[in-house]
Amino acid sequence: RIPVFLDCDTGIDDAVALGYLLRSPAVDLVGIGAVSGNTDSSQAARNTLDLLGIAGVTGIPVAVGAHHHFSQDYRGGAAHVHGDNGIGGMQLPRSEQEPDARTAVELLIDLSHQYAGTLHVLAVGPLTNIALALQADPTLPSRVKAFTVMGGACLAPGNITAAAEANIHNDPEAAAYAFAAEVTAQWDATLVPLDVTMQHTLEEQHQHALAASDDPLARVLAEMLDHYMDFYRPIFGRRTCALHDPLAAVIAAGEIGLSDAPRVPLEIDTADGPARGATIADLRGIHRGTGDSSRGGVRIVRAVDRPVIDVLLDTILR
Ligand code: BDR
Ligand code: CA
């Protein structure tokens, strides 16, 4: 099983990703960092702990990350998307597990030693904790087998601005740090942008299947999805929602095939203009049918080989 460190801003789709990672036979979730994004890092940690409690899981350390971002202040979460507390306003029973005494950065660095050469780092929020960890220990990538990020919009429109996706836009300098050429030369980096995540939705019948489960975690996910599906209704023209973080989780677990994922140079726009937070992938090679770079770079997932909802439901409702 793949040892995975999850860094998240829990978050309704983060919660679905967590549910999948807890149940996937391909994954050993060894630690979780909380980052400010959909909600602040303390609330994200609380949400994560309470979800672990509902799942009946103990023993996975959950560490709080920095409240503010690497390059800018945290300016409040995405209440219109994820509710005031990140999980659609649901009041979950408080788990007895408390946050780990370490910071998210300390936890990640410790795990990178414990699982040196095998650890997968999966980031589904702003890259604040990851950049801080790289700053604290520049040798980190040499011990990490793979780094998978939900974020960015390459040829697709952004979702927080015309050009940028929320996770990257919340902390563009952190993203620039994590995807700097000298860093990506050392770890196997994959970006799962809106270009592909907006193609993968959870529909009402899937929500109903979760709600009908006798698994308490599945039922809680179904309930919080209400808020998320209301947000997406005007965007898709039907009650549905995009599976951003769950798709990145399934990719990190290796449980879905990548049918179009060229490895190309990637730059993050950190200028203070309309494209701040844009992910500029050099996809010029796609016209030759390759796009593959000999210069290292980042794998940009543009298509996967089946609907991710099938994998999610199979695993969560197993
Ligand atoms: C990303 O932003 C957050 O709101 C979601 O949890 C996801 O990680 C999508 O842009
Ligand atoms: Ca997220």
pLDDT of 287: 74
Which residues, judged by CB distance below 6 Å to any ligand atom, belong to the binding site of ligand 1? 11, 13-14, 38, 78, 81, 124-125, 150, 159, 165-167, 244-245
Q: How far is the CA of 92 from the centre of ligand 1 (A)?
A: 21
- Ligand 1 centroid to residue 236 C-alpha, Å: 16
Q: How far, in Å, is the centroid of ligand 1 from the Cα of 245?
A: 7
Question: How far, in Å, CA of 306 to CA of 255, rounded?
Answer: 10
Residue 132 · residue 105 · CB < 8 Å: yes
User: Which DSSP string corresponds to 164-187?
Assistant: --HHHHH-HHHHHHHT-HHHHTTS
What pLDDT sits at residue 137? 98
**pLDDT score recorded for residue 42:** 98
Q: What is the pLDDT of residue 285?
A: 80
Ligand nearest to the CA of 152: 1
Q: What is the pLDDT of residue 312?
A: 98
Structural tokens at position 57: 């899981």
Q: How far is it, in rounded angstroms, from Cα 240 to Cα 57? A: 29
Q: What is the predicted pLDDT for the residue at 286?
A: 77
Length of the chain measured in residues? 318
Instruction: Look at the pTM and tell me if it is higher than 0.90.
Output: yes
Q: Helices in the chain by DSSP H: which ranges?
A: 12-23, 41-55, 79-82, 104-114, 128-136, 140-143, 166-170, 172-178, 181-184, 194-197, 204-211, 216-236, 244-252, 308-316
Per-residue pLDDT of the chain (318 residues; tens, 9 = 90+): 999 999 999 999 999 999 999 999 999 999 999 999 999 999 999 999 999 999 999 999 999 999 999 989 999 988 889 988 999 999 999 999 999 999 999 999 999 999 999 999 999 999 999 999 999 999 999 999 999 999 999 999 999 999 999 999 999 999 999 999 999 999 999 999 999 999 999 999 999 999 999 999 999 999 999 999 999 999 999 999 999 999 999 999 999 999 999 999 999 999 999 999 999 999 998 777 666 665 579 999 999 999 999 999 999 998
State which residues have CB under 5 angstroms from ligand 2, the bound ion.
Answer: 9, 11, 14, 124-125, 245
Known catalytic residues are: 244
Peptide linkage before 37 cis (omega within 30 of 0): no
- Distance from the CA of 294 to the center of ligand 1, in angstroms? 31
Ligand 1 atom index nearest CA of 160: 10
Residue 295 DSSP one-character state: S
What pLDDT score was predicted for residue 242? 98
Instruction: Out of 8, 9, 235, give the residue to mutate to test ligand 1, the one with the largest number of ligand atoms within 8 Å of its CB.
Output: 9
